[in-house]
Amino acid sequence: MPPAFLDGPDAPEPARSRLALATLIVGIAAVPLAFVPFFGAVVGITAIALGIVALVKKRRPRGFALTGLVLGAMGLVLAIVLTVFAVVGLVSAVQQRQLDQSLSGSGSSSASDRPLMSGFDDGVSFDDGVAIGVSSPSDFQVTENAIGADQAHNVVFTFVIKNDSDTPVDPYLNVSVSSGGVEGSRIADYSADRPLVEPSTAVLPGGQISWQQAFSVADPDSVVVQVDAGYDRPKVIFTSVK
């Protein structure tokens, strides 16, 4: 006679744990979502956490939990690698853009740094409508109160600014002079017949202004005058030297 237990109902299969099933589902999702920067890593970490909890609590089927755990780990690693590549690519793109802007800026600034050449008694017009001119040097008689008359010859120049732009212009010019390979000295002589006072009032659109500056030079026949009319305009060199 067969044993009695063979005639009884079949033993029920263990119920599938929702935690193990959730681990599997999240683990499967972690792999394709790894291609979404940052978010894929979060999904992978979630799958790993669920898998560890399911295995510790011995939730069945353990294969679901283990598979979800492994897939979550794979998704996490893949997400980290892809995120690193994305960050490196973004940083490289930003640096390249900054480099391009820097090169573009330096290229334009180097072009504006090239001085323009002009002869005395001629004017130079800038792109913004402002024009400047310098007269030929003429003798300047200094008084006993003069400062800076320390070379063989003293000369004076007349400077002119004409404003054909739409906005007022600051009349300040940064002027340097050399002759015969020697830097000239600026003369200050408030007792002279011709006052050497630089303008300070803005030149209105359509207007112009002139003034004089005196220098002590070594050779009046080989004078070079360099004028800087502002950072946004190229320097201008006035000379009679051929």
d(Cα 124, Cα 113) in Å, to the nearest integer? 15
pLDDT 10s digits, 4-35: 544 445 544 454 578 778 877 887 887 887 78
Q: Which range is least confidently modeled, 110-119, 209-218, 221-230? A: 110-119
Say how far apart CA 43 and CA 67 lie, in whole Å: 15
Please report the pLDDT score of residue 159 as a whole number. Answer: 96
> What confidence tens digit (pLDDT) does each residue in 33-46 have?
778 877 778 888 88
Name the residue with higher pLDDT: 8 or 204. Answer: 204
| % of the chain at pLDDT higher than 90 | 41
Cα(122)–Cα(239) distance, integer angstroms: 10
pLDDT per residue as tens digits for the range 150-190: 999 999 999 999 999 999 999 999 999 999 889 999 999 87
Report whether 223 contacts 137 (CB < 8 A).
Answer: yes
Q: What phi, psi does 237 have (nearest 5°)?
A: -110, 120
The Cα–Cα gap between 169 and 159 comes to 15
Q: What is the pLDDT of residue 163?
A: 96
Please state, rounded to an integer, the average pLDDT across all residues of the chain: 83
> Structure tokens of 166?
């739409």
pLDDT of amino acid 113: 67
* Nearest partner of 133 among 39, 32, 212, judged by Cα: 212
- End-to-end CA distance of the chain: give it in Å, rounded: 132
Q: Are residues 43 and 83 in contact, defined by beta-carbon separation less than 8 angstroms?
A: no
| Cis omega (within 30 of 0) for bond into 61 | yes
**What pLDDT does 111 receive?**
47
pLDDT beyond 60 at 217: yes
Fill in the DSSP letter of residue 192.
S
In total, the chain counts a number of residues equal to 242
The secondary structure element, H or E, covering residue 104 is helix 62-113
Does an H or E element contain 214, and which? Answer: strand 208-217
Domain positions in the chain are 10-109, 116-239
Which CA distances in Å does 201 have to 129, 198, 209, 229?
18, 10, 10, 15
For 33, the enclosing helix (H) or strand (E) is helix 18-33
- Residues 110-122 have a mean pLDDT of 80
**Tell me, which fold does domain 116-239 have in CATH?**
Immunoglobulin-like (2.60.40)
Q: Between β-strands 153-163 and 185-187, what pairing exists: parallel, antiparallel or unpaired?
A: unpaired
Q: How far apart are CA 28 and CA 40, in angstroms?
A: 11
pLDDT at residue 177 in the model: 96
CA angle 138, 144, 145 (to 5 degrees): 95
Does the pTM exceed 0.95? no
